[in-house]
C-alpha cells in the first residue's frame, strides 16, 4: 500500500470554510456539554468535504506549534498522516457524506519542533435534524501507549529494514535502493548490532517487538515517528 510523505515545509493552507454550527448536544456521546470531548482530548471543527479547519481550541493548535488564528484554514490531512492514508481519506469522505457517524484512527502529527508524535483521532459528524452534515468535530488525543525512547532510523535504513522484513535479498535491495551490495550489507550489519540480533529473521522479530512497524500493513512499513 502506498504511503504519503510528510511535507518538510508548513502544511498547505486551504481556504477556510464558514465555521460549522455548534452542536447543541454532545455528538461524541460522552455526555459533555456543547460538543466537548473527553478531558484529555483537544478539539477542532472541520468543514465536511474539503476538511479545512474552521476552528480549534488552543491545545489542538499547540500540538502543531501554531496559534488558534494560524490553525484556521489548514487542511486536516496536511496536519495528520496515517499508515493507511487512502483508508483515512475514505473514512472522512464517508463521514462527510453521512454514511457513517464517527470513527477513530491512529495517526501521526508533527509538532512545532519538527518531531513526529503518535495520536488517536476521533472524528464525529455534526448534522442538522434533516440529516445534512454541517461540520465535523475532530478530537485528538496523544497516544499514551506509544513506546517512548524507542529506536529511530534514518529514512534509508528504514527502507532497508522494510525490505528485509518483506523478504528481499541483498541484490534486490541494492537494485531497488540504488546502492551497492556492500552498502546494503553494511547497513544491515549496523542494524543487527544496534538491535542485538544474530541474523535477519531475528532483526525483523526484534523490530516488531519494539513496535517499529505499522500494524496490518504489507509490505511492512516503518512507522513515521520511527524515522528521522
Q: What is the pLDDT of residues 92-136, one digit of tens each?
A: 999 999 999 999 988 888 887 777 788 889 999 999 898 899 999
Residue 68: Cβ-neighbour burial (10 angstroms; 0-12, 13-18, 19+): middle
Q: How confident is the model at residue 1 (pLDDT cuts 50, 70, 90)?
A: very low
Across 44-57, average pLDDT: 94
Closest CA to 141 of 63, 35, 41: 41
CA angle 223, 3, 167 (to 5 degrees): 70
**Region of residue 15 (left: phi > 0; alpha: psi -120 to 50; beta: else):** beta
Closest CA to 201 of 166, 156, 154: 166
**pLDDT score of 50 more than 90:** yes
**Which three three-digit cell numbers place residue 68?**
488558534
Query: What are the angstrom distances between the C-alpha of 161 and each of 11, 106, 168?
Result: 28, 22, 10
Tell me, what's the pLDDT at 144?
Answer: 58
Query: Which of 1.10.3720.10, 3.40.50.720, 3.30.1490.20, 1.10.10.10 would CATH assign to domain 155-226?
Result: 1.10.10.10
Tell me, what's the pLDDT at 211?
Answer: 83
Residue ranges, CATH 1.10.10.10, the chain? 155-226
| Cα separation of the two ends of the chain | 21
How far apart are the C-alpha atoms of 126 and 113, rounded to whole Å?
33
Contact predicate 133/139, CB 8 Å: no
Residue ranges, CATH 3.30.450.20, the chain? 33-142
How far apart are the C-alpha atoms of 171 and 181, rounded to whole Å?
6
Instruction: For residue range 20-46, list pLDDT tens digits in order.
Output: 444 434 433 433 334 444 457 899 999
> Which is the CATH superfamily of the domain at 33-142?
PAS domain (3.30.450.20)
pTM: 0.51
Amino acid at each position: 500500500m502506498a504511503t504519503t510523505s510528510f511535507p518538510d515545509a508548513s502544511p498547505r493552507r486551504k481556504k477556510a470554510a464558514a465555521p460549522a454550527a455548534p452542536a447543541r448536544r454532545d455528538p461524541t456521546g460522552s455526555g459533555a456539554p456543547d460538543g466537548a470531548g473527553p478531558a484529555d482530548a483537544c478539539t477542532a471543527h472541520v468543514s465536511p468535504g474539503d476538511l479545512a479547519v474552521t476552528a480549534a481550541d488552543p491545545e489542538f493548535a499547540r500540538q502543531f506549534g501554531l496559534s488558534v488564528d494560524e490553525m484556521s484554514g489548514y487542511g486536516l490531512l496536511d496536519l495528520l498522516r496515517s499508515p493507511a492514508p487512502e483508508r483515512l481519506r475514505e473514512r472522512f469522505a464517508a463521514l462527510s457524506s453521512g454514511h457513517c457517524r464517527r470513527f477513530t484512527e491512529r495517526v501521526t502529527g508533527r509538532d512545532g519542533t519538527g518531531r513526529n508524535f503518535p495520536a488517536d483521532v476521533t472524528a464525529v459528524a455534526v448534522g442538522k435534524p434533516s440529516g445534512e452534515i454541517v461540520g465535523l468535530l475532530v478530537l485528538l488525543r496523544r497516544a499514551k501507549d506509544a513506546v517512548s525512547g524507542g529506536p529511530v532510523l534514518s529514512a534509508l535504513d528504514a527502507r532497508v529494514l522494510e525490505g528485509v522484513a518483506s523478504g528481499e535479498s541483498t541484490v534486490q535491495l541494492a537494485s531497488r535502493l540504488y546502492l551497492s551490495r556492500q552498502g546494503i550489507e553494511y547497513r544491515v550489519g549496523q542494524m543487527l548490532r544496534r538491535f542485538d540480533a544474530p541474523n535477519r529473521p531475528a532483526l525483523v522479530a526484534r523490530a516488531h517487538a519494539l513496535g517499529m512497524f505499522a500494524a496490518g500493513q504489507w509490505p511492512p512499513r516503518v512507522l513515521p515517528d520511527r524515522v528521522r
